[in-house]
Amino acid sequence: AYSSCAERNYYQMLGVAENASRDEIKKAFHLVSDCWGPLDL
């Protein structure tokens, strides 16, 4: 799983645009972190 993450940037991992607001990034992070545990990255 790590190698697939290394090929993508953080915006892609969170599913937000690179010009996303801080609030959009924060919301996306919390949604993703609920689904993925630390071993899934």
Is 40 a member of any domain? no
Question: Can you give the residue range of the structural domain that contains 8?
Answer: 2-35
Distance CA 5, CA 25 (A): 17
Digits of tens for pLDDT over the chain (41 positions)? Answer: 455 556 678 999 899 999 999 999 999 999 888 777 666 55
Backbone angles phi, psi at 5, to 5 degrees: -70, -35
Flag whether 41 is in a domain: no
DSSP assignment of 19-39, as one string? T--HHHHHHHHHHHHHH--TT
40's CB contacts (< 8 A; 6+ apart) are 1
pLDDT of 15 reads: 92
Q: What is the count of structural domains for the chain?
A: 1
